């Protein structure tokens, strides 16, 4: 089944130096851009993370320091990449929890303030786990009846994610071929920040989604525990999360 699209949608996958969204860096990025008329554009690029790639990460994706030594840094490609995904909805595999937050962090570190607030995000892994509870290679075998060659390479994983989503639409009549529906269905929470540290409650209020204040309204906590904001700003939180809590704090101060 082909996707019904109002906007172009970008399927993407990252290979990184590790799994810490706020600290690790991209070493390879691959995307497949699908247009409403069905046309496709794809690109894969290696990125110099400006730090050593840990052996345990190389063991997963096969990319070494030597492979990226002469590649551009993310800052050097950030503005071009931002233009490529401007106005597009976003899809990936475990992308809402990892790839999207890390990509946003890289843009912020590069000084590129890309606005994704109006975009729809489809996480094919979430749909898969809700329907079948398995992994990407198993998903590809289950839905597409084929072995995933080159698993853990960004290009192979990106293409497989696109094919799995189309097969999911064919298999499950309850899934609507609509980006807004798929975005909502594949979302775990109504995130305020991309890392999901701050979420909206049923009343549309920003609340903490972690720690001792989990479920408490952010603005109220900052009024009663003045040091908590400072602790977060100094802590190992993503730049995007820090921007969100700063905006909330400033908004409340202006009231």
Q: In what order do the strands lie in the sheet with 89-92?
A: 40-46, 26-34, 9-16, 89-92, 121-123
Separation CA 179–CA 194 (nearest Å): 19
Q: Give the pLDDT of residue 238.
A: 95
Q: In which element (H, E) is residue 11 found?
A: strand 9-16
134: pLDDT confidence band, cut at 50, 70 and 90? confident
Which one has a higher pLDDT value, 180 or 188?
180
Per-residue model confidence (pLDDT) at position 133: 61
57-82 residue pLDDT tens? 999 999 999 999 999 999 999 999 99
Q: Where are the domains of the chain?
A: 9-185, 198-253
φ/ψ of 10, rounded to 5, equals -110, 115
- Contact between residue 34 and residue 5 where contact means Cβ atoms under 8 Å apart: yes
CB of 200 closer than 8 Å to CB of 233: no
pLDDT reported for residue 213? 96
**61 contacts 152 by C-beta, under 8 angstroms:** yes
What is the pTM for the complete model shown?
0.71
Alpha-carbon distance 85 to 79, whole Å?
10
Contact 158, 32 (CB under 8 A): yes
Cβ-contact 128, 47 below 8 angstroms: no
**Of 176, 198, 193, which Cα lies nearest the Cα of 185?**
176
Quote the pLDDT of residue 45.
97
Tell me the percentage of the chain whose pLDDT exceeds 90: 86
229 in helix, strand or coil? helix
pLDDT digits (tens, 9 = 90+) for 90-112: 999 999 999 999 999 999 999 99
pLDDT at 52 over 90: yes
CATH of 9-185, one of 2.40.50.1070, 3.30.420.10, 1.20.120.80, 3.40.50.300: 3.30.420.10
- Position 130 scores a pLDDT of 86
Taking the C-alpha atoms of residue 252 and residue 255, their distance in angstroms, rounded to an integer, is: 5
């Amino acid at each position: 089944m082909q996707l019904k699209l109002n906007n172009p949608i970008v399927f993407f996958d990252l290979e990184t130096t590790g799994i810490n969204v706020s600290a690790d860096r991209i070493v390879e990025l691959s995307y497949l851009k699908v247009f409403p008329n069905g046309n496709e554009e794809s690109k894969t690029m290696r990125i110099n993370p400006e730090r050593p790639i840990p052996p345990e990460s190389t063991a997963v994706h096969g990319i070494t320091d030597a492979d990226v030594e002469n590649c551009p840094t993310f800052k050097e490609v950030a503005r071009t990449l931002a233009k490529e995904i401007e106005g597009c909805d976003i899809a990936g595999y475990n992308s809402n929890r990892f790839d999207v937050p890390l990509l946003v962090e890289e843009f912020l570190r590069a000084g590129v303030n890309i606005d994704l607030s109006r975009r729809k995000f489809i996480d094919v892994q979430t749909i898969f786990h809700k329907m079948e509870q398995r992994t990407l290679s198993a998903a590809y075998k289950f839905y597409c009846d084929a072995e995933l060659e080159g698993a853990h390479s960004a290009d192979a994983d990106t293409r497989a994610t696109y094919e799995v989503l189309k097969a999911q639409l064919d298999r499950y009549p309850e899934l609507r071929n609509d980006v807004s529906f798929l975005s909502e269905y594949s979302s775990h929470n109504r995130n305020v920040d991309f890392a999901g540290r701050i979420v909206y409650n049923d009343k549309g209020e920003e609340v903490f989604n972690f720690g001792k204040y989990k479920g408490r309204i952010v603005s109220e906590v900052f009024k009663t525990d003045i040091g908590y904001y400072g602790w977060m700003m100094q802590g190992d939180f993503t730049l995007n999360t820090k921007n969100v809590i700063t905006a909330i704090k400033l908004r409340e101060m202006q009231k």
